[in-house]
Amino acid sequence: MIRARWYKVLNDLWGNKTRTILIVLSIAVGLFAVGMIVSSQAILSTELAKSYATINPSSGTLRTNEPFDDDFVQSVRRMPEVQDAEGRRSFGVRFRVRSEGAGDQAEEWRNLQVFAVPDYANMRINKIRPVSGAWPPPEHELLIERAALQLIRAQVGDVVLIETPGRQVREMRISGLVHDLSQLPAPIDGTPYGYIAFDTLEWIGEPRGYNELHFVARDGADKDEAQRVVNLVKDKAEKSGLTIPMSMTAEPGQVPLNDVLQAILLLLGVLGVLSLLLSAFLIVNTISALLAQQVRQVGVMKAIGARTRQIMGMYLVMVLIYGVVALLLAVPLGTLGARALSRYMASLFNFDLTAFHVPPQAIVLQVVIGLAVPVLASLVPILSGLRVTAAQAMNTLGLNNGQFGKGFIDRL
Amino acid sequence: MFISPLKSPAPAHIAQDGRRDEEGVPLIELRQVVKKYQGAAGVVLALRGVDLRVKVGEFVAIVGKSGSGKSTLVNMITGIDRPTAGEIWVGGTAVHTLGEGQGAAWRGRHVAIVFQSFQLLPTLSVLQNVMLPMDFADRYPVREQRDRAMHLLEQVEIAEHAHKLPSAVSGGQQQRVAIARALANDPPLLVADEPTGNLDSSTARSVFRVFEDLVDQGKTIVMVTHDKDLAQRVERAVTLADGEIVDDRA
């Protein structure tokens, strides 16, 4: 058996469906945005960290001007501060996709960063994973990082012309795709990545030696320790006669892309919160208008025995119903939105989602915000509206007997 | 025609000190009640030291011109408004000392109010309007409130409209609903401010008969009215002018 006062609340809600729908939708939009962002943030952070851990990321990378060999790599590996080290060669070339019958006018030369790994089958640091096609890269052929495929506007099986730093032009077939999470995603970086066999280096005019040293500091190293190890390795390299034009330190356990990802999610989160604030303003406006419209009803209720807290309870329950209905819409939609956003961001940041679990705290946060924001937003207009006495409300004495409008809340 | 909602015999109202009301014991007593308002044009003296005693079971009409202070007087008696000076006692309660919340709670149980323009809540059905004061006063169990409201509507001969909205019934029917609502918590005192002011003469007479029946059953009624005919039919008429009682005849 429902109490009569709740009939009034329900009838007021149902009696003005347009107002109810507008408020519910405005709250739901904000909640949806917040839920989607919070869930995506949790999912993407977890999944990116998981994916990143599988490649065994380097804690330091040195680039050298001169080539070095396995002996130097071994000597670094033997350093007590270093857990493991590997050498690679990377260099920039220009490329264009060979187009049948189009001649040299077909396409402009574009840049391609090429990596050569001595043993693709036994990579231990910054591991590259095959995605499709040939593996490891066949001699004189090229594998492309999967996220770079759209950038080079070619397909697996196409042939590209490579112009080496020595101005030689070679034809190389794209024979497969790989996934290299240690590099910035090509669409973000703007440079596509290609991978060749170490034996292909001399064929395209590159020396058969490393110019990149990737190494991992011992377990437990923090950022300072990682930097210290980079400096030690750098000293060692320079003492061996190598010139180091560039060195990079990665904070152990931290995913470099995570900062960018979090920045984007933060921006989206701010938009979500702004949307929620807008809905709060709409609630303030609507409840103020509702109470102004119902001021006589408030007076009548007080006259027939309602205490202010009972009437306040009615309006707060009305606002809570707005919140609950908005939650019923926003939570499932937020989950769907989080799934879509996570997939999109994972694809943009070039990593795979292995699981999709909406964290319970994201749901709890939505529920808390969904109930608290409407209630808090409506408190001022409700308190202000209910301060009016029964006599004032019913206008039996004239609405203004000299008191209303003098209080702090009235002046808001 | 009208039967007591509680089917109780003539009342035996008990004053706050436990004494049984007897002839001459007032249910309402106003002592030197003054009410001033701060209006835009300055201070308005609505009541100027009013003294009034109303006995249990009396049917009193408050008459006077517009602005004479009639509505202010009933607002004082019901505790809707507070006096600037003086004392108001109703059934042993010092109404002038009650805060807004206390006043609402007291009013819900002890005073029935009937307004000129009915003041039914438009989004509640007739039945729900009658249930509402019982809900606020929490005097009857929730499961009984519906039956009691229906019973009250039967008493004012409007039960067949119980599930309609107020806007779907006539003015006279709305006033009957308002009377049923006023009686929801079985208060000893009914205060009506121009209850027939918005009704045609035939409907007004019908509503007035309801009041007469209530008095017969022991309710005390204070009714503000402009209607001289109605005022002549009550046992006592108090005339106000410029915030003062200028005539009080039985």
Predicted local confidence at residue A149, as pLDDT: 86
Which residues 368-397 of A are in CB contact (within 8 Å) with B?
A: 389-391, 394, 396-397
pLDDT of residue A105: 56
Q: Does A5 sit within 8 Å of B146, measured CB to CB?
A: no
Q: Which distant-in-sequence residues (6+ apart) come within 8 Å of A118 by Cβ?
A: A70, A87, A88, A198, A210
Structural domain boundaries of chain B?
A: 57-80+99-249
With cut-offs at 50, 70 and 90, classify the pLDDT of residue A408: low
Residue B174 contacts A, CB cutoff 8 Å: no
Indicate yes or no: CB of B108 within 8 angstroms of CB of A296.
Answer: no
Sort out which chain B residues have CB atoms less than 8 A from A402's CB and list them. 37-39
Nearest to A198, CA basis, from A190, A187, A209: A209
pLDDT per residue as tens digits for the range A259-299: 888 888 889 888 888 888 888 888 888 888 888 888 889 98
For residue A136, whether the previous peptide bond is cis, meaning omega lies within 30 degrees of 0, is: yes
Predicted pLDDT of residue B41: 80
Contacts of A391 in chain B (CB under 8 A): 75, 80-81
Model confidence at B20: pLDDT above 70: no
- Shortest alpha-carbon distance between residue A404 and chain B (Å): 11
Q: How confident is the model at residue A391, as a pLDDT?
A: 77
Q: Contact B119/A394, CB-based, under 8 Å?
A: yes
Question: Which residues of A fall within a CB distance of 8 Å from B150?
Answer: none
Global ipTM: 0.85
> What pLDDT band is residue A220 in, cutting at 50, 70 and 90?
confident
Residue A402 pLDDT more than 90? no
pLDDT, mean of residues A135-140? 93
| B137 band by pLDDT with thresholds 50, 70 and 90 | very high
The Cα–Cα gap between A179 and A115 comes to: 13
- Predicted pLDDT at A100: 62
Which residue type is seen at A58? S
Contact status of B71 with chain A (Cβ, < 8 Å): yes
Cβ density class A347-379: b for 16+ within 10 Å, e for less? ebbbbebeeeebeeebbebbbebbbebbbebbb
Would you call B75 an interface residue with chain A, using a CB distance cutoff of 8 Å? yes
List the one residue out of A371, A350, A335 whose CA is nearest residue A37.
Answer: A335
**Chain B: nearest CA to A12, how far in angstroms?**
6
Cβ-defined contact of B80 to A391 (cutoff 8 Å)? yes
Band of residue B243 on the pLDDT scale cut at 50, 70, 90: very high
| Angle value at C-alpha A256, between A252 and A259, nearest 5 degrees | 120
Q: Give the nearest chain A residue to B79 (CA atoms).
A: A303
Give per-residue pLDDT as tens, B60-118: 999 998 889 998 999 999 998 899 999 999 999 999 999 888 999 999 999 999 988 88
Q: Nearest CA to B111 among B47, B41, B51, B192?
A: B192
Using the predicted structure, report yes or no on whether residue B131 has a pLDDT greater than 70. yes
In angstroms, what separates the C-alpha of A396 from chain B's closest C-alpha? 7
Q: Which CATH number fits domain B57-80+99-249: 3.40.50.300, 3.90.740.10, 1.10.10.60, 3.20.20.140?
A: 3.40.50.300
The residue-averaged pLDDT of A114-132 equals 94
Does A16 contact chain B (CB < 8 Å)? no
Confidence check: pLDDT of B3 > 50: no
- Measured CA to CA in angstroms, residue B161 lies from A370, B165, B168, B176 at distances of 40, 8, 9, 11
Nearest residue, CB atoms, A297 vs list B105, B121, B185? B121
Query: Does the pLDDT of residue A88 top 90, yes or no?
Result: yes
Q: Which two tokens stand for residue B148?
A: 């009691």
Residue B10 has pLDDT above 70, yes or no: no
State residue B24's pLDDT score: 60
Residue B193 CB contacts under 8 Å (≥ 6 apart), including other chains: A396, B70, B71, B74, B113, B114, B115, B116, B224
A326 — pLDDT class (breaks 50, 70, 90): very high
Of chain A, the percentage scoring pLDDT greater than 90 comes to: 56
Question: Of all residues in chain B, what percent carry a pLDDT higher than 70?
Answer: 90
A232 touches B: beta carbon within 8 Å: no
Is A301 in Cβ contact with B136 (below 8 Å)? yes
- DSSP conformation class of B48: E
B83 touches chain A (CB under 8 A): no
- Is residue B14 predicted with pLDDT exceeding 50? no
Q: Is A333 exposed, middle or buried (0-12, 13-18, 19+ CB in 10 A)?
A: middle
B167 touches chain A (CB under 8 A): no
**Number of Cβ within a 10 Å radius of residue B210:** 20
pLDDT recorded at residue A398: 34
Whole-number Å distance between alpha carbons of A284 and A79: 66
pLDDT higher than threshold 80 for residue A107:
no
